[in-house]
Amino acid sequence: MQFGPQIAGRISRSRIWKMIKYFLYFFLGFKAASSFPLPTNNTQCYINNPAVQRFREYVQIDTSKPENLEKAVAFWSRQAVELGLVFEVHRSEGLPIGVMTWPGVDPSLPSIMLNSHMDVVPVDEEFWKYPPYSAHMEDNGNIYGRGTQDCKDVTIQYVEAIRRLKNNNVTLKRTVHVTLMPDEETGGFNGMAKFVKRIEFKQLNVGFAFDEGLASPDENMLLTYQDKRPWQIKITVKGLGGHGSSLSDGSAVQKLQRIMDAIGKYRDSQKKISNEQSIPDAGAYDSVNINIIKTGIAENVMPEKGYLVVDIRLAVSKSVDEMQQLVDSWIAEGGNGTEAKYLRRVEVSDATPTDLSRPYMQAIQEAAKEMNISIVPVLCPAASDMIILRSLGIPALGFAPKTYTPSRIHTSNEYLNAGTLLRGIDVYVNLLQKLGNLNKL
């Protein structure tokens, strides 16, 4: 984790321990965090709660399939009608981008953008304890389903916070836009990347943005101010084919193996750097994983072609040239007939300042103090649509008030506790009032 300069100089022993717990939770997964306390309220406390019901309905839409995005759009269109808000749908390459707008008293002021994405990553149902789009709720209030943490929860929290404020006749100086992107999980190429170039985005007059955030293993709520740069590369090899009984050299599998060995060796070196951090710092190393390997046409045929996809998130200090040289060395391991294609290559990821001279940070910390909660700025070890907004100079922070929650993002048995969901709505109610009434962001 990398903290803003105003925080780095004031780290206490307790804060260091909390950071270490966060590191264990995020990078070692559920088992490392399973001992942390979780809400244990009975499901009867939640089952008839309208916000919980809407959350479960949203999770039940399988938006891993692009064609189901229209069902999500219809869901949000209904919510907008109920709230008396304008809902617009813009389309890019056939994909819908939703924008729900709550006008402020002074629409000339730059607006607040509450961003999230409708799409979710695919699932392998074999590893789920409940059907992944059932939104099954256990007796303790844990709701299981793909998207419960990434990131259908935060969208519900945005809109339910607006619902509560409107029901209480609260008005804000600034206009609030809830934006719903269609393809963040696949890079945002046809969603955020194209939307920010359109006149419809410029007309939103965005001055500050929230987006999806990280779950936390303890009482701290995490505020991400910078994303690591994602590089995703498809490396294709061609080699000698033949009968499955052959021991000839130069096969596609052998070439893939050499490349995988080189990548694995580098991954081990980055894992060592990670383990040696006295204070966990996700920006100090590259994360490297081979996420797809494909080759072969039959059980008794040596394949002549194969490919792998490697997913890299660059360290903050890693130069583009240095990383490119490393990738070139992996390609060289494959020899003749090896090609590389970038599926995603982000060279710059700006940071949003989190020092307390910023009015938006003052508002966030004031809200946290009023609610007796701790909001801690951290570097995001992954990537989000905020990379694009920050590149435009818009202050953008990832935030999801998910405390005492083991991260299940992109893995099986993703869940969120209903009590955690509802508490997050309380937090956003306070944050929106503070940020939405600032004279200056």
- Residues with a catalytic annotation lie at 119, 184
Q: How many C-alpha atoms does 282 have within 13 Å on its Cβ side?
A: 27
Q: Are residues 187 and 276 in the same domain?
A: no
What CATH number does the domain containing 100 carry? 3.40.630.10
Q: Are residues 166 and 311 in the same domain?
A: no
pTM score of the predicted model: 0.90
Overall domain count for the chain: 2
Q: Are residues 222 and 264 in the same domain?
A: no
Phi, psi of 321 (to 5 degrees): -65, -40
CB 385 within 8 A of CB 192: yes
Domain boundary among 321, 345, 369: 345
Q: Are residues 298 and 355 in the same domain?
A: no
Tens digit of pLDDT for each residue in 164-215? 999 999 999 999 999 999 999 999 999 999 999 999 999 999 999 999 999 9
Q: 3-class SS at 288?
A: strand
Q: 3-class SS at 63?
A: coil
Measured distance CA(255)–CA(297) in Å, rounded = 17
CB 177 within 8 A of CB 99: yes
Domain boundary among 301, 325, 345: 345
Q: Are residues 124 and 247 in the same domain?
A: no
Measured distance CA(281)–CA(316) in Å, rounded = 10
Asked whether residue 163 is domain-assigned, the answer is: yes
CB 284 within 8 A of CB 274: yes
Measured distance CA(264)–CA(249) in Å, rounded = 22
What CATH number does the domain containing 320 carry? 3.30.70.360
Domain boundary among 289, 322, 345: 345
Q: Are residues 426 and 286 in the same domain?
A: no
Asked whether residue 171 is domain-assigned, the answer is: yes
Length of the chain, please? 441
Tens digit of pLDDT for each residue in 237-273? 999 999 999 998 999 999 999 999 999 999 999 999 9
| Identity of the amino acid at 269 | S
Q: Are residues 119 and 177 in the same domain?
A: yes
| Identity of the amino acid at 339 | E
Strand pairing report for 242-243 and 339-345: unpaired
Q: How much of the chain exceeds pLDDT 90, in percent? A: 88
Q: Are residues 106 and 206 in the same domain?
A: yes
Tens digit of pLDDT for each residue in 6-57? 333 334 444 454 455 444 444 444 333 333 344 445 677 899 999 999 999 9
Report which DSSP code applies to 316: T
Tens digit of pLDDT for each residue in 110-156? 999 999 999 999 999 999 999 999 999 999 999 999 999 999 999 99
Q: Which residue has the tokens 């629409």?
A: 107
The pLDDT mean for the chain works out to 92
Q: Are residues 90 and 203 in the same domain?
A: yes
Measured distance CA(102)–CA(115) in Å, rounded = 14
Q: Which domain holds residue 335?
A: 229-345
Q: Are residues 86 and 209 in the same domain?
A: yes
Q: Are residues 331 and 247 in the same domain?
A: yes
